[in-house]
Each structure stands twice: as C-alpha cells, then as structure tokens.
C-alpha cells in the first residue's frame, strides 16, 4: 500500500474528473492535499467534505489569467509552510480548426497554451525555487497520449500543448536532478470522466473506444494510482519518464 503521510501535495484542477480522483487517492494514502479549483467551489468543497477537514485545503485560481499561478503557489505553501509534491493536472481542451475564423483560431490557441503550458510552467518554476530551499521535491505533470500520436484536426492545439508539457518535464528532470528534484509525466488516453461524457454524447462510446485494445476508457482511478505511486518516492530513478495510461491504444 502506498504511504504518503507527512507529505503536502498540491493538485491543480482537483474539483472534477481525473483531478478529483487524484485528490481522493492521495488523501486516502495519508497526504495533506491542497485542492486547486478554477470556478466550481461547490464541487471542490464537496470533495473536501468527504475527506478529513484538516487534511484538504481549497485554493481558487483562474489559470487562464497570466500570473495567477504564482498566487496559487503562495497560498498553497502558506497552508503548511511547504509543498513536497505538485501535480499539475489542470488543463483545457476546446475545439477549434483551420476552417474557423482566424480570431477564434488565435484565441483558442492562446487560451490553451496559457492554461496547459504557461500556468503549468509558472507553477513548476515556483516549485523549483521552493525545492532548492528544502533539498528537493517532486513534480508530476499530466500530459496526454496526444503528445505522442497527435490528435484530431480540431484539437491540434491541445496535442501541441501536451507535447510541450512532456518536453518541459524531461528538461526539469535533466536540469534539476542534482538538486534532488524528480519530475514525471503521466499521459492518459480516454478517461471516463464528465469531460469524456460530452464526447460520448456526440460520437458514441463505440467510436471512441474502437482503437483501445482493452475495449474501454480508463477509470480515473487508474491515473490517480499512478500519480500516488510516483508521489511516494518509490521510483525516484524513473525521473524524466512518461507513464502511459491508455489501454494500449498507443504503445511507444
């Protein structure tokens, strides 16, 4: 069993889907969790209410606003005086294609890169500076199989953002290993969350799972369990790697 007692872990985008499963799993393993949310405080509060009240701290930040990540980090550190692990899970995926007007194309690319890359990079920067004062720490970035195999034409910007996350994570591992910092990426395929339900409603479950050899979308707990393992420190020399959770739909 994974044991995370004594660790303070920040999870961005923790109020729904994969993030909510990560929060529950980490707290269940004994961690003190900072649950970041963007808009839905009720959903975040409902998750926290099911955990020990002293073990989950809510912090709101709109990561679509440049610079907001630094305030999020400061509030997270203030709760317990430090953060041992950061899980950058927050991300957006909004459809836009080459046939859309240039204004919408540009806006969606900028918004996606701000949330999925720039806010993540800002949090990682704060974490690295913090970890240098504490003799090390752990960064876990949630990427996507789209980083490796690409995505549909209407989600090229999403795939590009996740490719950046993977490259950035590798750079952190290589550049800060001597500072006792470890960094990992986790790359899910389709995960059965409320976001996936919207796609299911349009395309149907059969179409979305046709190329998944296991025949089903991954439960969010599969991703959460991988994150908990990486957060435990039991595989430090796996730093720099990406772990796929996609039912063998893309095997590297």
> What would the pLDDT profile of 87-132 be if each residue is shown by its tens digit?
999 999 999 999 999 999 999 999 999 999 999 999 999 999 999 9
Task: Count Cβ neighbours within 10 Å for each residue of 103-116 and write b for 16 or more, e otherwise.
Answer: eeeeebbeebebbb
pLDDT at 199: 84
Active-site residue, selected from the candidate residues 37, 131, 155, 158: 158
pLDDT tens readout for residues 158-210? 999 999 999 999 999 999 999 999 999 999 999 998 888 888 888 899 888 89
Strands 32-37 and 8-11: parallel
User: Domain locations in the chain?
Assistant: 8-245
Q: Which residues pair with 187 in a beta bridge?
A: 244
**Is residue 228 within 8 Å of 4, Cβ to Cβ?**
yes
At 87, which helix (H) or strand (E)?
strand 85-88
What is the token pair recorded at 165? 């996350």
Residue 131 a catalytic site member: no
CATH architecture of the region 8-245: 3-Layer(aba) Sandwich (3.40)
**pTM over the 0.85 mark:** yes
Q: Any idea what DSSP says for residue 118?
A: I
Both tokens of 240, joined, read 């720099």
Q: Would you say the C-alpha torsion 233, 81, 22, 86 has a positive or negative sign?
A: negative
Q: Residue 33: is its pLDDT beyond 90?
A: yes
- Of the candidates 64, 63, 59, 51, the one whose C-alpha atom is nearest the C-alpha of residue 78 is 59
Q: Please give the mean pLDDT across all residues of the chain.
A: 96
Give CA 19 to chain center in angstroms.
Answer: 7
Total length of the chain: 252
Identify the pLDDT of residue 43. 95
CA distance 240 to 218: 23
Q: What would the pLDDT profile of 36-89 be if each residue is shown by its tens digit? A: 999 999 999 999 999 987 899 999 999 999 999 999 999 999 999 999 999 999
Measured in degrees and rounded to the nearest 5, phi and psi for residue 17 equal: 55, -135
Question: Per-residue pLDDT tens for 130-158?
Answer: 999 999 999 999 999 999 999 999 999 99
**C-beta of residue 249 within 8 angstroms of C-beta of residue 189:** yes
From CA 223, how far away is CA 245, in angstroms rounded?
A: 7
> In this predicted structure, what is the pLDDT of residue 208?
87
Query: Given this model, what pLDDT does residue 202 score?
Result: 84
% of residues, the chain, pLDDT over 70: 100
For the chain, the maximum distance between any two Cα atoms, rounded to a whole number of angstroms, is 52
């Amino acid at each position: 069993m994974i044991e995370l007692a004594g660790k303070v872990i920040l999870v961005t985008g923790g109020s729904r889907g994969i993030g909510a499963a990560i929060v529950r799993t980490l707290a269940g393993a004994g961690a003190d969790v900072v649950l970041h949310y963007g808009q839905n405080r009720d959903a975040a509060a409902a998750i926290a209410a099911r955990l020990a009240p002293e073990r989950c701290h809510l912090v709101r930040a709109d990561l679509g606003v440049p610079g907001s990540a630094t305030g999020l980090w400061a509030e997270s550190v203030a709760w317990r005086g430090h953060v041992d692990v950061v899980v950058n899970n927050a991300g957006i995926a909004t459809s836009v294609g080459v046939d859309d007007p240039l204004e919408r194309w540009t806006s969606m690319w900028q918004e996606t890169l701000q949330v999925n890359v720039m806010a993540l990079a800002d949090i990682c920067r704060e974490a690295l500076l913090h970890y240098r004062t504490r003799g090390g720490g752990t960064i876990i970035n949630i990427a996507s199989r789209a980083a490796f195999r690409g995505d549909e034409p209407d989600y090229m910007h999403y795939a590009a953002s996740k490719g950046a996350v993977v490259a950035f994570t590798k750079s952190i591992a290589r550049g800060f290993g001597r500072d006792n910092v470890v960094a990992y990426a986790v790359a899910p395929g389709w995960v059965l969350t409320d976001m996936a339900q919207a796609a299911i409603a349009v395309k149907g479950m059969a179409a979305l799972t046709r190329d998944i050899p296991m025949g089903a979308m991954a439960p969010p707990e599969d991703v959460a369990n991988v994150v908990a393992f990486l957060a435990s420190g039991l595989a430090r020399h796996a730093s720099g790697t990406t772990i796929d959770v996609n039912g063998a739909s893309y095997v590297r």
